Structures are given as structure tokens and as C-alpha cells.
Structure 1
């Protein structure tokens, strides 16, 4: 039952943000690891990342399309 409550809370947190293609939620990790993941994803010409101001470290990933 607590898993459903946790899922509902997570969904409510993201309601104020655009709908990304992927959400990466980091637990208790170093800032260096987060930066490594961001830099790695940004090397792709097909992905864009953005960090959001939530209580935990969260990274939104979106596919970039040339239109």
C-alpha cells in the first residue's frame, strides 16, 4: 500500500513540469556522478537534459528532433 502512496506523491511532484521522455531520479549520490551522467547524455546529438528544482536530484531527458 505504501508503494502506491509513494507513486502518487512522485506523480504529483512532476505535474508542474513538461512531459519528458525519461526521468532519472538520483538517490544519495555525489554531484560528480550526476555531472558525469549529464555530460554523457549531452554528448548525444539526439538528447537534451535539464535539472529541476525538486527536493531530490532529478534529471529530465528529452529527445531532440530536427524539424
Structure 2
């Protein structure tokens, strides 16, 4: 499993996950919306931690900077 997420991409994913979590804990979202957004937040958080996005692999995309491109 080759990492395909760059630093900025990881930061954006983790920030979105944190915002969704905060919205849940201050009761801005609830019910089905909370379940759906919570699932999305969990996926975003996990992918930001491991640095790999399966969807990026399917489409051959990578936001990670290669050392040869610097």
C-alpha cells in the first residue's frame, strides 16, 4: 500500500473530521445526519492517519509530492 496523501490533504481531512465531531458533540447535528456525517468523518480521519486513500488509487491520483518534482 503506497501512500498517496500529501501533508495538506491530510490536514484538510483531519480538520473536516474534527468539525463534524464538534458539530455532533454540541448537538448541531443528530439522527441520520449525524450517523452519515460521522461515518464520513471516521473515514476521513483514518485515511489522514494512514496517508492512503483507496479512491485515489482507483483513479491513479496522488496528492503526495515526489522528491523528483521539487
Q: Could you state the TM-score of these two structures normalised by the residue count of structure 1? A: 0.28
More strand per residue = 1
More helix per residue = 2
| Structure number, greater radius of gyration | 2
